[in-house]
Chain A
Amino acid sequence: MVERTPIFNAVCHLILLLGLLIALLPFAIVIIAATHDIKTVNIVPMPLMPGHDLMANFHEAWVRADLGRKLFNSFIFATAVAFGKVLLSTMAAFAIVYFRFPGRSLIFWAIFITLMLPLEVRIVPTYAVAANVLQPFQVILDMTGVSWLVAHLTGMQIKLQWGLLNSYPGLVLPLVATATGTFLYRQFYLTVPEELAEASKMDGSGPVRFWWDVLLPLSRSTMIALFTIMFVWSWNQYLWPLLVTTDPNFGIAVTELRTLIPSEFGLPDWNVAMAGTLLIMTPPLIIVILMQRWFVRGLISTEK
């Protein structure tokens, strides 16, 4: 602060407190509603004193949305996406920054163009690919005449089929296939001093050893930032999991929110719906609160 402006400061505090209220009110309402019984939650206006039914509502939501299984799946899914993202990004960025070979800049652009089109806008054809991931290769073989040749020579029909619907790879892989992390890692590698690579080469280490023993340990903070942001991002995915997992065994928590919407008939049980919402939204919130520094840093550097 550079000057003394007591009145203006008071106004600022007032606005900030109002902002705090706006930010926290929905959390408060969800928590309070989750503690009421079905009658109390439907009183207008809803009593702001918490009730005593939190555990009963948690239990009801847990059973109705099968949250034990679903939260576990969400956890696996988000961890796998974050891990895959970190691993593939560091590898791809390493190839782009530390190697000279023909077609390098083509690879660079092929990866970076994916930033332009998010999954949501190409959702229908991506779903078709997930139904059979080998379909692209089948079409290529058919078009180039390889299938025809094989059919004539050996009498075997080439039918490549590998469906990813209702499986963990089907959930995870399409979300890993974007350039966000690659860009972050490229920026990081460009700041690594040249002398490190020089010294490693002089000591006789090859590229794999340099990557594993020098770059990976150096990139620890980049890794944590990317992992945090990707974990939260994938935990919150909705449209893709909704399409790919029709089998309840592979469903994730966020798509289960659909089953928690109170029915139109009878007294709506908002208390159970809010208890379920609370359970589903808490894990990423805890991560953001605990890892705030990394989260903010990862967010700012992946988007720019």
Chain B
Amino acid sequence: MEKRVTFSSATIGLLFAFPMLLLVFVFFYWPSGQALFWAFTLEQPWGGGNKWVGFQNFAHLLKDPIYWNSIVRSLVFGAGSTAIAMGVALVLALLTDREMKGHRLYRSVFVWPYAIAAPALGLAFRFILAPEAGLLSIINRVWPDVWNPALDGNDAMIAIIVAFSWKYIGYNFIFFLSALQGIPRSLIEASAMDGSGPLRRALDIQLPLLTPTLFFLLVINITESFQDSFGIVDIMTQGGPARATELMVYKIYFDGFKGLDYSGAAAQSIILMVLVILLTIVQFRFIERRIHYK
């Protein structure tokens, strides 16, 4: 869409765009380029600039079982939390959309978790899921040593998945509900008149009409599970026990700022960037298809 009436002064136009362009150049394009540069070079131990090493940094990474471990953990985390957060949110949104008594209350409360900072809910869940105090410690009373996220890697992974999903149920709920309310009531009423029950309508009318939203949320949830997880991991497990929760962004932070291995961290950033860009491209392609529904 283009405006018919426009202003012709190029100088003023450029001046309006200039502050944003300057920021984007300094804090986006330059660092991204820098990451590329570092990924293909190695800093010399006695100074004297960086030496071009080609794909050596990537080769090192891809041979490193610890790096593969972090990729696998990230995928487990992403898949687990996305499935829970989207599944629960979809059910809650479908039921809230039936507009039964109290739906206004549900509509507002289910959004609250998304307002909480990831590290804050990380600390809250660290207490709730702690093995020796809080809420879940009861099961250790009954079966001693069943649950201990501080020692058992699987328990730790479950703990961060639960914490992250809780926040993103709120997020997904907002989008699902707004999409559901965009479906014309007449469609639902017509099919009810034809004798279909609530479940049949959900499967045959609401879910197909929700596919664009479903797909959009799938991509967002996975990319957010790469980024927003940092605060939760840092507060709840610090990547432990024994690297069981060392997700990709946490490893970049750890290698880059604690290990001071800029080249290795930059190569990891590039791999993560490629992953995120691929996901975004998939999403953009899907947005074109979304138009068919309107």
| Residue ranges of A at the interface with B (Cβ–Cβ < 8 Å) | 1-3, 5, 8-9, 12-13, 15-16, 19-20, 22-24, 26-27, 29-30, 33, 41-46, 88-89, 91-92, 94-102, 104, 107, 110-111, 114-118, 120-130, 133, 135-136, 173-174, 176-179, 182, 189-190, 194, 197-198, 201, 206-208, 210-211, 232, 235-236, 238-239, 242-243, 254-255, 257-258, 260-261, 268, 270, 273-274, 277, 280-281, 284-285, 287-289, 292, 295-296, 299-300, 303-304
For residue B268, give the distance in angstroms from its CB to the closest CB of chain A. Answer: 9
Q: Which of B133-166 contact A (CB under 8 A)?
A: 133-135, 137-138, 140-141, 166
Among A1, A15, A120, max chain B CB count under 10 A is at A120
| Cα distance A158–B266 in the bound complex, in angstroms | 28
Asked if B235 contacts A270 (CB within 8 A), the reply is no
Taking CB atoms, residues of chain B closer than 8 Å to A98 are: 3, 6-7, 13
| Cα distance A277–B126 in the bound complex, in angstroms | 12
Asked if A239 contacts B230 (CB within 8 A), the reply is yes
Asked if A125 contacts B34 (CB within 8 A), the reply is yes
Asked if A121 contacts B249 (CB within 8 A), the reply is yes
Interface flags, B77-119, vs A, CB<8A=1, else 0: 0000000000010011001101111100110111111111111
Taking CB atoms, residues of chain B closer than 8 Å to A176 are: 23
Taking CB atoms, residues of chain B closer than 8 Å to A116 are: 276-277, 280
Asked if B116 contacts A285 (CB within 8 A), the reply is yes
| Cα distance A146–B280 in the bound complex, in angstroms | 39
Asked if B20 contacts A91 (CB within 8 A), the reply is yes
Taking CB atoms, residues of chain A closer than 8 Å to B20 are: 88-89, 91-92, 111, 177, 182
For residue A115, give the distance in angstroms from its CB to the closest CB of chain B. Answer: 8
Asked if B117 contacts A281 (CB within 8 A), the reply is yes
Asked if B198 contacts A5 (CB within 8 A), the reply is yes
Taking CB atoms, residues of chain B closer than 8 Å to A120 are: 226-227, 230, 249
**Given A13-B100, A124-B252, CB of A20 within 8 Å of CB of B109:** yes
